[in-house]
Structure 1
């Protein structure tokens, strides 16, 4: 499906800003010095670094007047950086280079509505251009080539909101040329000459059919028919530069998806790499030939495996000289320079310039230099067994007060926050995590669990979550809590549940379906009614609708309606016994604000305490720094009362945000005073 309720991990991309000086509340045990919220969640000093294809420029996102904007500098002298954009309110979170290295391209929406439009800014003149000047339109990138310099392929859904027509765009002039009117394709793959070669179409059974394209139309028999079981673990990735080979991530005939090369002319496939533990869905490709040079495996931790001697030498060098995990980001066309992101967990991530010819590493920036030297906590990967024998890859972070040994076994229990990822078709991973660090610093153990349905661990693990929202998926979370209690990480009466999107649903489900398991819950943009959730999904998710139905419950059948009703926390709101905090963006196109409104209304009608904070200028998560800081200020004071942890006072955090407390200010410590 490749379309998640929580995209690109909402919790990880929330961008807050200012906070008050710390003043810890009473805590049950000594811990590390309190770290200000702003230092963990505030605007990074720099992020999203990229090399221009010709190697002459560096770009990144950095604050300008408190808002993330696009910056550029000569690669030979990063000190000569200058801002290219002037966003005043909403952060720009990513930008890519045009193929000719003359412009930076970025997307932006309005108030979190996810109608992303494409903009370009000239590197030399600073001139900004709206490249898709439409309303109620969501641009989708389709193809970018190292060979064709003057144009890219994009999709626009301004004709029919459900489908993205394919256009050729010339960034230099803004000229748009329609290449294909799309009346039912979910996506496309183009070759290096920007010829559309493969089209993806959803099947009624939740699977996918892939067609060869010729002149914009299916050519011959389908290239591949993929059933529901393989639909999220099998897909074409990219063509080699000569167009003769197509790489796939492919789980057909196996459990975890492998990297497979297919000869286009004959259809013959060759296994390039596989791993029995985890899916292989990403690789490093030669910028000149497009041939796979290395692949990435992410089970407990992420690691690169080389496929060529040259890349092995580079990767071995980086593994030796970079502390912790690393990822290779952008590479120049000549492949003589790479940008490499380093993550040691207990230090803020850093970005390095790697010059391949001389094996030289130069640190360009640290994303959050204010955290250098701070008492950040270690993260420990664990394999937890579910009650029916599945292996749940999970990540535990412990507060300093837990007195953990070198292996991460705690000397004494601490209150714990179960932090649930979104999607649910996504995953948690190992690395620096702002939410883990924040909560651990406040005195909590933090546990993130890849419950069944999570991606990255094979098709059987995903399929084990089919029709299991609120049931076996929820059981996995409870099993992980039991594991933590048995291991001495925490005690059964001091566990909170928290998450965004699907994680918000899991929070509501935890409080409604197992009302005494959790001490309290924090729900961020979580759906409360699965029937209304499916009824209000964005029109551009049309292609994935049948897969939603097959994996969640089909609202067009009586059986499906009954299942969705049974799994909707809204219908069991009267069972909730423990404190609940809800955060919601008013413009959320994925989880409509009605999802939060209706459960708050149901709980209020039964006089069940609930605190409800709405942000009128946000969508699926809180992108604006002041808004995210405001919600986190409320959340940590809420958790401090519930779990007896520490909290930085709310102070003026709400005053500088757009937060509207719609209900229950009296149930969250310090909230009423902060509003006055």
Structure 2
């Protein structure tokens, strides 16, 4: 495979069938604009197609006929499908050129709501679909951003948040989506406020105001009067989810209050008294759902990156049987309307993701989908090893290590996640498996300081003036690579998106002499211009993590560490990838680092998708990105 790539790169065969136009050194192919990217050989496309044609299915909701709704992709984008029977035919329900969110079924009915944006702009619109008429109705206002769609228990109304362009505040709206005249503003909010649950009687809404990963507030909104009451008002804590108990007198919430990790507690609304519901696991509870009778709580534990499903009686603490699942990641846990089945998604290093249900009374575990893997033998896919390496200050940094086959020494891709309050986890990645199995490259995916999943102290270690300590973690990882005889320290590439893109650029600034290259995807190149230009609904949320650029000392620090101001130190080859409609990290961040590196004498590769936002979601664009990355790796890692 590697010989085919190298020999075909000379000028070969095809450019994915798109007509090209060139202007000012840029080549346009359909919606893709690029600089310096060679023609894509057919040999690269052919083998990549098998890995690119893997697909996943995510559990979305239970259907009224006993089946399930899932999201999966059979064309350019993920759409909603219906599956009537386990392992049965998937019937596509939505047919849009843009990806949709999942189906959220109306209680007691057959209609469902979903969201969709345009070109990755993240200005999501809400739609109501009626299966009986096969008609879609948009119930949200154009040019607004909408989310948190939440049905009342009787299905009579839905609540959601709405934001307008540039405004950090969100309003809470309530309506019967089939009756536009019923829409009204229930709360003129302040900051990002999201409806998370209705009381059983439909009179109250539970509202979460999000500040940062370590700080959120909870409120109970009286929907008729508009009265807003804060829950647990004296606490400065994080919340990861919350639901009313059936009687409406208390809440079950995921919080880190009183501990280093998140767990489930009950809060009495009368006096804010707190009772711990789940035991101390030493890891975060990442999700939960409560049965409608309040007698069963299902929750997911993030245990060092892997998921564990637990089912308990939240009143007595009694544990209940759980399904025997392969090691992997679990998401979207949800009870059906009868509290008989639990639905969820499961993904592992060998499985790209499928929809499952678990029947509580019988203990029957049912797999509803078996997603395709392009005809590949997933038994050959590499399961990562969890390693730790010591950073500059003695801190132990966890990482997942995908070792290439053979004795080596193999080249290395350091794959850095975004966030930064995110976590690298051992899910399914056809991209990583392609790098390992086809290119013969070992992959290391670190959870540098600032990553979530390892407690409050760890997630805060990169805040404010400590920003570059996480970059030093990459330097320590390079030291670790140099100590491994099966790895080639002279052939290492850094790769990452969003905040991970900043980490790529910062690593290039500090360690260009130790790197063969870097791939920056929708990355921050200057923190000040990023904070000034990111969409207004996100600005204050990002200031909580990166610092407030309006403060003179922080402004000076952010300018000092920004890669765009140190582009002369980026001497290793660089590939920049960006979506033109990105509301989070605007395309100006990519353009300014491209210009700065050029002015310093570099000659980066550049790829811009005019119909994408924060990352490429359309399959044809993503296929081209992967092929172009392959050519870049072939060049800078000297793959033969």
TM-score, normalization: structure 2?
0.85
1: distance between equivalents of 2:67 and 2:109?
8
Q: Which residue matches 1:333? A: 337
1: distance between equivalents of 2:261 and 2:361?
36
Q: Counterpart of 2:115 in 1: which secondary structure?
A: strand
Q: Residues 159 and 69 (structure 1 numbering): CA distance in 2 closer, same or farther, change over 3 Å?
A: closer
1: distance between equivalents of 2:63 and 2:443?
40
2:307 matched to 1:302? yes
2:107 matched to 1:107? no
Structure with the largest fraction of strand: 2
Residue pairs, 1:208-219, within 5 angstroms = 208-214=216-222, 215-219=225-229
Which digits, 9 at most, give the CA deviation of each residue in 1:632-676, with x for residues without a partner? 111111011111337xxxxxxxxxxxxxxxxxxxxxxxxxxxxxx
Residue pairs, 1:44-193, within 5 angstroms = 44=55, 47-52=57-62, 54=64, 56-63=66-73, 66-75=76-85, 78-79=88-89, 81-87=90-96, 89-132=97-140, 134-141=141-148, 143-145=150-152, 147-158=153-164, 161-187=167-193, 188-193=195-200
Q: Which residue matches 1:621? A: 615
Q: Counterpart of 1:515 in 2: which secondary structure?
A: helix
Q: Cα distance, 1:532 vs. partner?
A: 0.4
TM-score, normalization: structure 1?
0.81
Which digits, 9 at most, give the CA deviation of each residue in 1:476-535, with x for residues without a partner? 122223223323352321110000000111111111132213210000000101000001
Q: Counterpart of 1:346 in 2: which secondary structure?
A: coil
2:556 matched to 1:562? yes
Work out the number of aligned pairs and report it: 596
2: distance between equivalents of 1:501 and 1:527?
7
Pick one of 449, 458, 475 that aligns with 2:446.
449
Q: Residues 64 and 40 (structure 1 numbering): CA distance in 2 closer, same or farther, change over 3 Å?
A: closer
Q: Cα distance, 1:202 vs. partner?
A: 7.0
Q: Residues 256 and 378 (structure 1 numbering): CA distance in 2 closer, same or farther, change over 3 Å?
A: same
Q: Cα distance, 1:137 vs. partner?
A: 0.7
Q: Counterpart of 1:36 in 2: which secondary structure?
A: helix
- Mean alpha-carbon deviation: is it higher for 531-540 or for 60-69? 60-69
2:351 matched to 1:324? no
Pick one of 583, 593, 597 that aligns with 1:589.
583
Q: Cα distance, 1:96 vs. partner?
A: 2.6
Q: Counterpart of 2:505 in 1: which secondary structure?
A: helix
Q: Counterpart of 1:224 in 2: which secondary structure?
A: coil
2:514 matched to 1:517? yes
Which has the bigger relative contact order, CA under 8 A and spacing at least 6?
Answer: 1
| Structure 2 unmatched runs, 5+ | 9-43
Q: Is the 8 A contact 2:416 2:497 kept in 1?
A: yes
Q: Which residue matches 1:345? A: 349
Q: Is the 8 A contact 1:189 1:236 kept in 2?
A: yes
Q: Which residue matches 1:491? A: 488
Q: Which residue matches 2:17? A: none
Q: Cα distance, 1:248 vs. partner?
A: 2.5
Q: Which residue matches 1:223? A: 232
Residue pairs, 1:433-512, within 5 angstroms = 433-441=429-437, 442-468=439-465, 471-512=468-509
Q: Residues 622 and 457 (structure 1 numbering): CA distance in 2 closer, same or farther, change over 3 Å?
A: same
CA RMSD of aligned residues (A): 3.2
| Structure 1 unmatched runs, 5+ | 1-19, 28-32, 403-411, 647-676
